[in-house]
């Protein structure tokens, strides 16, 4: 498992961000029974930078808390059985790892939302990273049924990590 971590934000958190991201990543992969070693990129950045990325890639000119850019295409969310057939270019040729995709998190939003929702910074960061990991594995929340499923998975993963409100 590889986490490619870059910190453009620069403000220190009261927990080791990269370590927590790796723990959450591993728990998400175990929860979804991913049979592959995987690679994920994480960029921790500012509100302004995430706004620029959101505008460039999604044509939405606004700040958001997290963006997910999946590499693999899933026929069914969380179903890894068809990945090798449909997404061979999603494997790192040097390591053989499945490249799930890129996650961008606004460090400023982590601080703002933790305060607003009255929970810890650790919980907010872990929630956003879990949410994005599920997106990288094909989950979405456009339909109400999909949203309920994703919310349930997020809660269970965080509970397994002992990270609750």
Task: Output DSSP code: residue 118.
Answer: T
For residue 32, the model assigns a pLDDT of: 96
Is 2-160 CATH 3.30.40.10? no
For residue 88, the model assigns a pLDDT of: 62
Within the chain, residue ranges assigned H as helices are: 17-31, 47-58, 83-86, 107-117, 121-136, 144-160
Domain positions in the chain are 2-160
Strands 38-45 and 66-70: unpaired
Question: In the chain, what is the straight-line distance between the N-terminal and C-terminal CA atoms, in Å?
Answer: 28
Sites in the chain below the pLDDT cut of 70? 86-88
Please state, in angstroms and rounded to a whole number, the distance separating the CA atoms of residues 42 and 129. Answer: 9
For residue 87, the model assigns a pLDDT of: 59
For residue 92, the model assigns a pLDDT of: 92
Quick one: 18 exposed, middle or buried, by C-beta within 10 A (0-12, 13-18, 19+)? middle
For residue 7, the model assigns a pLDDT of: 98
Neighbours of 136 (CB within 10 A): 22
């Amino acid at each position: 498992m590889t986490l490619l971590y870059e910190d453009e934000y620069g403000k220190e958190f009261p927990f080791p961000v990269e370590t927590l991201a790796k723990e959450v990543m591993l728990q998400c992969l175990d929860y979804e029974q991913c049979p592959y070693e995987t690679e994920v990129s994480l960029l921790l950045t500012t509100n302004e930078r995430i706004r620029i990325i959101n505008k460039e890639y999604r044509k939405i000119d606004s700040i958001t808390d997290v963006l997910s850019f999946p590499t693999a295409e899933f026929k069914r969310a969380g179903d890894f059985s068809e990945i090798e057939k449909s997404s061979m270019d999603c494997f790192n040729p040097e390591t053989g790892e499945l490249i799930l995709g890129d996650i961008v998190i606004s460090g400023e939003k982590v601080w703002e939302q933790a305060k607003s929702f009255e929970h810890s910074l650790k919980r907010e960061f872990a929630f956003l990273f879990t949410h994005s990991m599920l997106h990288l594995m094909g989950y979405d929340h456009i339909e109400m049924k999909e949203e309920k499923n994703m919310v349930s998975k997020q809660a269970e993963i965080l509970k397994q990590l002992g990270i609750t409100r």
